[in-house]
Amino acid sequence: MLKKLSLLLALSLLALGGLAQAQRTPKELFEGEVLAPEFPADLDWINVDNPLTMSGLVGKIVIFDFWTYGCINCLHVIPVLEQVEQKFADEVVVIGVHSAKFENEGQTENLLQIVQRYGIRHPVINDNEFEVWGRYGARAWPTIAIVDPRGYWVIRQSGELPFEVFDNYLSGMIAYYDEIDAGIIDRRPVELALEGAGDPGTLLLYPGKVLADAAGDRLFIADSSHNRIVIADLTTREVLDIIGSSARGKDDGVFENASFDKPQGLALAGDLLYIADVNSHAIRVADLAERTVTTVAGTGEMGRSRHEFGAPITDPLSARLRSPWDLEFDDLGRLHIAMAGTHQLYVYEPETGVLYPSVGNGREANLNDVRLADSELAQPSGLYYAGEGKLYFADSESSTIRLADFENDLVTVVSGTTNNHLFQFGDIDGELGLNRLQHALGIEGGPNGELFIADTYNSRIKRIAAGETATHTIFGLGGLGGYVDGEAAVAEFDEPGGISYADGILYVADTNNHVIRAIGLAVGIVDTFAFSNPEALVIERAALTILGGNQADDAVIELERQQVAPGAGAITLLLNFPDQYKINPLIDSLLAVRSEDSQLSEAVVGEREIRLAMDWAEGEGRYTADLTLFYCREGEEALCFIEEVNWIIPYEGVGDSDQSEVGLYREIVAPAL
């Protein structure tokens, strides 16, 4: 055992790096000296029924992962920790400490969706006030801290750490404690409630990018968390084909057997559809005629270093890439790649098979008005080629839209902060220099030279008119996002991540709503892209959710002004279902009431009639009641329908009113299949 421990110690010292570690004894390396601080009492927890305590975790090796969900380097840590959890399931507990950079990331509801999107199976804390962050002295995303099984904090390390580092160190720590006292490590499981482990049963699952092909009358959808590409007819909205088995992986082959891992960007060249397969760190190609998938770049393993600007990679299949996020062809037939993980843009030449970094030196920053080679990017995630050597890109972590001008060898800003800053963001329309975006992921051009922006964390679609420098919101109410079709004045999105234009329509991947939205620019109307044959997308392991029969008829209903007595009262909802239909017990339906600036109350809808207690104020006011209803036919819970309704409730609290309740009613119309 001593020989084995000496070897593990040597590996641990090597993995942790630095000559200063070389003189440390096993006791110094594996035993902390400072008792790990307890968690603040007011934090929201995900994936556990009750908040954990450090005193209750004594006996476990605890790994803290300090992260924020828009950070690509943080996302790289998630699969590494998944490996740790699999190998050291009995000894280790991982706790994600989410300390949000952006306001949108700090909302527990949004964080829960990210936990679900990435299949995170360990407890996650919403540390949006940076309380835990401060107690552990974190300074950057990502940061890892480790607590020994006695409850003492022993290590804090910033940056991405490969699995080998964790493997070597944890193996050494476990061997050390088993040798000094076999009873110190508690190998009993920690009870979890995995909110992020289930599929919500939606038709699409966190679609990331979308590509409209006007010439072929097709819509290509990166159904990212279903690990597949959906092809639909633009006119009939019929599902034409599916690329991928929906299994997570990097298997080439025929469409039915091929696998992907969180695919995003799409680019079309004839019958070849190029796919940015983010978590496979590869560029894949689907031959639409032969119905086969092959890989043209990437080994499937994530690279640990960036490639030098302009240096050709003559064998792209041997290159370790880092999270390619979007793709775009130029008029010379070159494929541009937003390589989010190295903070660079790349070019792939299909004819020669050569790959090389084309924009950015790889340092994560927001440096503009410099040559392509000297520019510094921050997680580029969306691309649009406008011709004449001009490639626009959504630089998400700098919250900007930037222009790489290949003819003039120059990178500039066209929307968002111009101050070479990574922490100047917001939701401000207006002239360049004053306007602000928030983690924009999508950029697209229109027929008249205008630019359209998916301003993701503001849940808005914005526009820069041709020849102008100002950015303006055209669709989306912003805030925390929502899901409402209709005119610009009412339409809502929830973290849209992709955008594509064809024949007067903007197609938007409305990621957190699990749908594609179609914006008719001439009429100014948003509607949901409802598939005409949704059964084609059923995944056997999950329920399918499609739009209800009267979803688009009157999704926003404004009541006449209600006179109510100030004080205790209620809002009641009555649902009327057709025969043989019921509320789906497998998915929570919700009724929530909110004011303009805050959420007031929320309840799970389990019966056809529900009552929410209210406290009516004196004078005039206005509330909104939001219903998200999942229902199905009796005995057919695998096919679930969704009804989204928003009631606007103007009221007046008057002392002589004898009414204390406001009633809402919804007639459910069964969809025609």
Residue 115's identity, in one-letter code, is: V
Q: How far apart are CA 411 and CA 415, in angstroms?
A: 13
Q: Which of 122-126, 548-552, 650-654 has the highest mean pLDDT?
A: 122-126
- What's the token pair of residue 391? 């490639």
Helix%, strand%, coil% for the chain, nearest 5: 15, 40, 45
pLDDT band at 89 (very low <50, low <70, confident <90, very high): very high
- Closest residue by Cα to residue 496 from 266, 207, 231: 207
The predicted-structure confidence for 622-672, as pLDDT tens digits, reads as follows: 889 988 888 887 765 545 677 888 899 999 988 888 888 999 988 888 765
- Evaluate if residue 217 carries a pLDDT over 50: yes
Helix/strand/coil for 2: helix
- What's the token pair of residue 277? 């397969």
DSSP designation for 18: S
- Closest residue by Cα to residue 246 from 587, 538, 640: 538
Q: How far apart are CA 369 and CA 375, in angstroms?
A: 8
211-232 mean pLDDT: 98
**Residue whose pair of structure tokens reads 């699409």 in the numeric block:** 204
Contact 478, 496 (CB under 8 A): no
The predicted-structure confidence for 165-200, as pLDDT tens digits, reads as follows: 999 999 999 999 999 988 899 999 888 887 655 567
Contact 251, 205 (CB under 8 A): no
Please state whether beta strands 460-464 and 451-455 pair in parallel, antiparallel, or not at all (unpaired): antiparallel
Residue burial 451-464, b: 16+ Cβ < 10 Å; e: rest: bbbbbbbbbbbbbb
The predicted-structure confidence for 346-384, as pLDDT tens digits, reads as follows: 999 999 999 999 999 999 999 999 999 999 999 999 999
Q: Which residues contact 46 (CB under 8 A, 6 or more apart)?
A: 108, 111, 112, 115, 123, 124, 125, 126, 195, 196
Q: How far apart are CA 439 and CA 411, in angstroms?
A: 19
442-464 mean pLDDT: 97
| Partner residues linked to 65 by β-bridges | 96, 144
Query: Which one is predicted more confidently, 264 or 552?
Result: 264
- Closest residue by Cα to residue 208 from 140, 266, 257: 266
Residue 56's identity, in one-letter code, is: G
Q: How far apart are CA 338 and CA 158, in angstroms?
A: 25
Q: How far apart are CA 631 and CA 545, in angstroms?
A: 9
Q: How many CA atoms lie within 13 A of 471 on its CB side?
A: 29
Outline where DSSP puts E strands in 459-535: 460-464, 470-475, 486-487, 496-502, 505-510, 515-520, 525-528
pLDDT band at 2 (very low <50, low <70, confident <90, very high): very low
DSSP 150-216: TSEEEEEEES---HHHHHHHHHHHHHHHHHH-TTSS--SPPP---TTSS----SSSS---EEEETTT
- Closest residue by Cα to residue 362 from 343, 346, 381: 343
pLDDT at 250: 95
| Partner residues linked to 283 by β-bridges | 276, 297
Which of 140-154, 298-312, 598-612 shows the lowest per-residue confidence on average (mean pLDDT)?
A: 598-612
The predicted-structure confidence for 390-415, as pLDDT tens digits, reads as follows: 999 999 999 999 999 999 999 999 99
Contact 495, 561 (CB under 8 A): no
- Evaluate if residue 15 carries a pLDDT over 90: no
- Evaluate if residue 265 carries a pLDDT over 70: yes
Contact 64, 74 (CB under 8 A): no
Query: Which one is predicted more confidently, 360 or 419?
Result: 360
- What's the token pair of residue 435? 């306007």
Contact 336, 330 (CB under 8 A): yes
22-26 mean pLDDT: 74
Which of 55-69, 252-266, 620-634 shows the lowest per-residue confidence on average (mean pLDDT)?
A: 620-634
Of all residues in the chain, the percent with pLDDT exceeding 90 is 72
104-125 mean pLDDT: 92
Q: How far is CA 440 from CA 262, 298, 375, 474, 520, in A?
A: 19, 26, 19, 15, 21
Q: Which residues contact 546 (CB under 8 A, 6 or more apart)?
A: 203, 530, 531, 534, 639, 640, 641, 642, 671
Q: How far is CA 657 from CA 48, 570, 616, 665, in A?
A: 45, 14, 12, 22
- What's the token pair of residue 66? 């300090």
Query: Which one is predicted more confidently, 23 or 255?
Result: 255
Q: How far apart are CA 67 and CA 387, in angstroms?
A: 38
- Closest residue by Cα to residue 574 from 629, 622, 611: 611
- Evaluate if residue 86 carries a pLDDT over 70: yes
pLDDT band at 112 (very low <50, low <70, confident <90, very high): very high
| Partner residues linked to 293 by β-bridges | 253, 286
- Evaluate if residue 12 carries a pLDDT over 50: no
- What's the token pair of residue 636? 């057919």
Q: Phi-psi bin for 7: left (phi > 0), alpha (psi -120 to 50), beta?
A: alpha
Q: How far apart are CA 105 and CA 439, in angstroms?
A: 10
pLDDT at 310: 92
- Closest residue by Cα to residue 414 from 404, 423, 422: 404
159 exposure class (CB count in 10 Å sphere: 0-12, 13-18, 19+): exposed
Q: How far apart are CA 512 and CA 480, in angstroms?
A: 11
pLDDT at 597: 66
- Max intra-chain CA distance, the chain: 86
Outline where DSSP puts E strands in 257-409: 263-269, 272-277, 282-287, 292-297, 324-329, 335-339, 344-349, 354-359, 380-387, 390-395, 400-405
Contact 584, 631 (CB under 8 A): yes
Contact 115, 67 (CB under 8 A): no
- Evaluate if residue 542 carries a pLDDT over 50: no
Contact 623, 651 (CB under 8 A): yes
121-132 mean pLDDT: 96
Give me the sign of the Cα torsion angle 354, 360, 362, 364: negative
Q: How far apart are CA 183 and CA 521, in angstroms?
A: 67
For residue 27, what is the enclosing H or E element?
helix 26-30
- Evaluate if residue 559 carries a pLDDT over 80: yes
Please state whether beta strands 567-576 and 661-667 pair in parallel, antiparallel, or not at all (unpaired): parallel
